[in-house]
Structure 1
Amino acid sequence: MIRATLLCLLLVLPGRIADAACAGTDLWPTLPDADRAVIEAAVDSIPYPRGNFWRATRGGEVVHLVGTYHFDDPRHDAIAERLAPIIASAETLLVEAGPEEQERLKSEMARRPDRLFLVSGPTLPEQLEKADWQALASAMQARGIPAFMASKMQPWYVSMMLGVPPCAMTELGQGAHGLDQRVIEMAEAAEIPVRALEPYDTVFGLFDTMAPKAQIDMILTTLAMGDRAEDYSATLTAAYFNEDVRITWELGRLAAYAMPGATTESVDADMAEMEEALMNRRNRSWLPVIEAASAQGPTFVAFGALHLSGQDGVLALMERAGFTVERLTF
């Protein structure tokens, strides 16, 4: 697995982690012109590569779609204000995980500790080389997670924790006020029904089929980029508010090419596998849910921004289903 996974994971999965005042640097302006040209060409080659807010129409059906950023940010205030009247006019709000799904997820984690922790088999210190475990224990300690607890965490969950800079960990679990949550609150205030695009336990299923070695590789990859975590976080944030979030995916690809032992073919294969698992498969499952809602009246849909673009992105899928798609001012 490659660093693009962790760079983008918190954009494509529903989350409640607020973006603390970290001191990272946006990497995009620092890239050589040649690298930016390669990334922009890759982004331009896919359908609907840029934009966070769209309208899709088919006959009398109207669907507004917004790509969200799950972290808190004061810039969400003005965006939410512009979206409010459109949400208020909708018959249904669709989100990745509504309040009911979030409560069921909490209940599931309390009932099933094996969802997040290793309850059988080797612990992480037993699966990692000694030096790698020591590096991991130190990185988790910096995030307020003691080594004894980290040793029994599911590898994919450890990778997610490593993808959050230590400066942001104090906000973890405190109820981030990202755009998703603001949209939900506006719908509830307007008494608009909030429905989920997918089952509450989808996030677990994404990793259930991942081979144990692949999950360990994901930890090692994330550790290797640990000293740049704040920079990658800053880059992702800037890209989102520039409505150009797809560059983060291609930035991850370019960085992965330079990793020891990597080949273009292996990186591209890993990227394709991860895009299919984290985005495309979910996008295809969401389309019937969106169509069912839109048949009943105006629908507002909010989900992680990376789901919008691509050959099997939500917008391209809707176009193939007969919708006319247009970008709106965000």
Structure 2
Amino acid sequence: MKRFLILVILLLNTVSFANASERGLFWKLKAPNGLTHYLFGTIHTDDNRIIKFLPAVKKSVNASDLLLVEITPGDHSQNLFMKNYSLVSHLNAEELNQIKKLSEFHVMYFENVIRMKPWLLAIIFDSPKPHTEFNQDYLLMAMAEDLDKEVLGIESSKEHFASMDSLSLDEQLMMLRAVLKKTEKERLYDYNLLMKEYLSADVEQIRKTDEQLTGKLLPKALWAKIKIQLMDERNKKMAIKIKELAQDKQLFIAVGASHLSGKDGLLSQLRDSGFKLTPLKAFE
């Protein structure tokens, strides 16, 4: 279960209104007070193409006082499950059979899966099977701990899951059913498309792809509402927290790549606050 906690913790990174000129996933930030910080836009996978960091990444973590991630590290299992509900009561036999097959594919216990929040299962089942727990987020946190750096979360577990938890049970089931209807080939195609955009380091294209893929799982009006909560509102809170901590600490900030782009994205907000941004290379 541990690797799935890491997988879903930050998969809520969907879309924003992008600045077409922005390109880059790893940034050096020079604050108005002279301190140097780093911002890394992550994608939550163990794909070999994006987990072999250049030495500059470790050097930047080492030069920082703390690693700032989206969610406070710890046990988040209490926020993964429904209270007093089971999917057995809400899905038909065919859907439950599909759930069982996907549980086996993702090496998850069916008894646990049927108690998990439907929106969360939709995200897990719509993602490729992780081969290890060593995704980008895990590796950066392990790197920080090895260097005796503090790891701090921008949000609590409850805050992090609040947007999707606000969906009604029927809306969550709608999202899950949309994923269950997809074939393995379709899921793999979507993943490869997102990886292609991530490797291009073009935050506008990452945003567009996120919008396309996640938007297919919910009705248009509902998705528009959730999108504001997931991105615009959270981006503002992230920027406030970053600027507050940046006053007297040097930060290495690791958040989902989609949070970087757009008018309310972190790049724009930090630049408007007087930070000087320089793109760096993170991978070969």
TM over 0.5: yes
For the pair shown, which has the larger CA radius of gyration, 1 or 2? 1
For residue 198 of structure 1, what is the aligned residue in structure 2?
Answer: 155
User: What one-letter code is carried by the residue in structure 2 that aligns with 1:193?
Assistant: E
> Please, which of 42, 66, 72 is the counterpart of residue 46 of structure 2?
72
C-alpha contact (below 8 Å) 1:93/1:187 kept by paired residues: yes
Q: Could you tell me how far 1:306 is from its partner in structure 2?
A: 1.2
Q: Residue 162 of structure 1 contacts residue 226 of structure 1 at CA under 8 Å; is this kept in 2?
A: no
CA contact (8 A) 1:206 1:278 kept: yes
Aligned letter for 2:10? P
Shift of 1:296: 0.8
Change beyond 3 A, Cα 1:91–1:220: same
Structure 2 Cα separation of the partners of residues 255 and 240 of structure 1: 14
Structure 2, gaps ≥5 residues long: 1-5
1:120 is aligned to 84
Which whole-Å deviations, capped at 9, do the CAs of 1:206-264 have from their partners, x for residues lacking one?
322112221011112112223311222222223222213553542455578889xx9xx
Moved more, 149-158 or 51-60: 149-158
Instruction: Give me the whole-angstrom Cα distance separating, in 1, the residues matched to 2:99 and 2:245.
Output: 45
Q: Deviations over 1:262-297 (max 9, x none)?
A: 9xxx63x44433332323222221222211221114
**Structure 1 match to 2:241:** 289
Partner residue of 1:236? 194
State the alpha-carbon separation in 1 of the partners of residues 226 and 168 from structure 2. 13
* 1:86 positional shift: 1.9
- Same amino acid, percent of matched pairs: 23
Counterpart residue number, 2:143: 186
Matched to 2:146, the amino acid is: A
Counterpart for residue 177 of structure 1: 134
Q: Which moved more, 1:82-91 or 1:42-51?
A: 42-51
Question: Structure 1 CA distance, aligned partners of 2:237 and 2:148?
Answer: 26
Q: Does the CA contact (< 8 Å) of 1:88 and 1:187 recur in 2? A: yes
Distance 2:57 2:215 in 1: 39
- What pairs with 1:249-328 in structure 2 (closer than 5 Å)? 249-251=207-209, 253-254=211-212, 267=220, 269-328=221-280
Q: How much does 1:49 deviate? A: 4.4
Q: Could you report, residue by residue, the CA deviation over 1:32-60 in whole angstroms, capped at 9, with x for unpaired residues? A: xxxxxxxxxx9995366431012233321
1:217 paired residue among 174, 185, 188: 174
Aligned to 1:31: none
Give the counterpart letter for 2:193 in structure 1.
Answer: T
| Length-normalised TM-score, structure 1 | 0.69
Conserved? CA contact 1:76–1:179, under 8 Å: yes
Paired position in structure 1 for 2:115: 152
Structure 1 residue 128, shift from structure 2 partner? 3.4
In structure 2, the partner of 1:58 is 31
1:140 equivalent in alignment to 2:103 = yes
RMSD of aligned Cα (Å): 3.3
Scaled by the length of structure 2, the TM-score of the pair is 0.79
Alignment-derived partner of residue 73 in structure 2:
102
Q: Choose between structure 1 and 2: higher helix proportion.
A: 1
Deviation string, structure 1 residues 130-177 (Cα, Å, up to 9, x no partner)? 544444444434434465554333212221231133xx25x3xx5x22
Shift of 1:325: 2.8
5+ unaligned residues in a row in structure 1: which ranges? Answer: 1-9, 16-41
Q: How far apart are residue 301 of structure 1 and its match?
A: 0.9
Q: Give the match for residue 3 of structure 2.
A: none
**CA distance, structure 2, for counterparts of residue 161 and residue 86 of structure 1:** 31
Q: Distance in 2 between matches of 1:315 and 1:83?
A: 18
**Aligned residue-pair number:** 272
